[in-house]
Amino acid sequence: YVISSFLYYLIELLGGQDALVRTLRTMKQTDPEAAEHLEDHGFPLNLVLEPWELGLEFMLQCKHGVLQYVVVKTIASVLTFAFQSMDVYGEGLFEWNVAYPYLAFALNCSVMYALYCLVKLFHAINDELRHPIDWHPLGKFLCVKGVVFFTWWQGVIIFYLKAHGIIDDIGAWTGEQVANGLIDYCICIEMVGFAIAH
């Protein structure tokens, strides 16, 4: 939910949604060539998404793109609980007969689209976040992306290592407890770094 919080933070820095829409419309009028570049999508998304007109549509598409991750993550959490209770979740297992790889794939697609939408918005308003007050948007943006990517991918990698026997039982701890402990330890260390960098 870091991504959605950062989205609303950016919108508020610009004076709210109405001010953001006015800013985007002004961009389209003052620099049509740059606006066309912002409205278009890169490959392969240009095959499935129409260009987003700078203004209200652009803002709403970015908001919806980010907020869909909140919904997908919530549904995935409920499904994880259900699959674990049915003993078919298989955390860290990349096998066809367990739910983990399918949920991981769906979550990965969702978070990548949310980050794509956030990048599009950030790219569109980056200059406005520097003037008249420099809010240092790049550092904050990189911290948000880092928090999302590091926490997500390190969990996938650590459970992949556990599933292939590289991370195993240590003393009284099971392999799963060791993997969860490593993830928690890494997150604690990373959050200190991100807090300083932010």
- The residue that leads in pLDDT, 60 or 138, is 60
For residues 124 and 14, give the distance between their C-alpha atoms in angstroms, rounded to a whole number.
12
| pLDDT at residue number 121 | 92
pLDDT per position as a tens digit, 54-110: 999 999 999 999 999 999 999 999 999 999 999 999 887 788 999 999 999 999 999
- Residue 63 token pair: 């908001």
Q: Does 149 have pLDDT greater than 80?
A: no
| pLDDT at residue number 68 | 96
Average pLDDT of the residues of the chain? 88
What per-residue string of b and e applies to 119-133 under the rule 16 or more CB within 10 Å gives b?
A: ebbbebbeebbeeee
C-alpha torsion 108→8→62→79, nearest 10: 30
pLDDT per position as a tens digit, 20-58: 999 999 988 998 888 888 899 988 999 999 999 999 999
- Residue 147 token pair: 């928090």
Read off the pTM.
0.81
- Per the DSSP assignment, residues forming a β-bridge with 173 are 170
| pLDDT at residue number 116 | 93
- Residue 42 token pair: 């890169």
> Which range among 4-8, 10-14, 21-25, 147-151 shows the weakest confidence by mean pLDDT?
147-151
Q: Does 134 have pLDDT greater than 80?
A: no
Half-sphere exposure of 92 (CA within 13 A, CB side): 21
| pLDDT at residue number 198 | 66
At residue 163 the predicted structure's pLDDT band, cuts being 50, 70 and 90, is: confident
- Residue 192 token pair: 């200190």
Contact (CB, 8 A) for 20 and 59:
yes
At residue 18 the predicted structure's pLDDT band, cuts being 50, 70 and 90, is: very high
| Residue of 16, 2, 110, 1 lying closest to 59 (CA atoms) | 16
| Residue of 81, 82, 101, 78 lying closest to 163 (CA atoms) | 101
